[in-house]
Amino acid sequence: MSTLIITVNSDNSLFDVGNSSKIYIFDNVKEYHDELCDIIADNKLSYEEIQNLVKSWGGTIDLVDLSTLVKNYKKNHDKGLPF
């Protein structure tokens, strides 16, 4: 079974993000929001380099592919577990 994943932003723009989309999850780096967005958008650094930078700021980072998040959500939902 193939899963179609569509995201909708606050402007109601639709995006088919596909199965290869990655999700960066940052904690404790709010003041570096614009810098991180630029680094990722411009593909300036590898994940390891971003991870080292974020750690130097006192934050943490995780990288998860969107299809894994959806599969885990669906599995937990089917078991009646909370989201």
What domain range is 58 assigned to? 19-78
In the chain, the amino acid numbered 51 is: Q
Give a yes or no: residue 12 inside a domain.
no
Tell me the per-residue pLDDT of 30-46, one tens digit each, with 9 for 90 and over.
899 999 989 998 988 99
Decide if 53 is inside a domain.
yes
Confidence of residue 2 (pLDDT cuts 50, 70, 90): low
**pLDDT at residue 51 greater than cutoff 70:** yes
Instruction: Quote the number of domains for the chain.
Output: 1
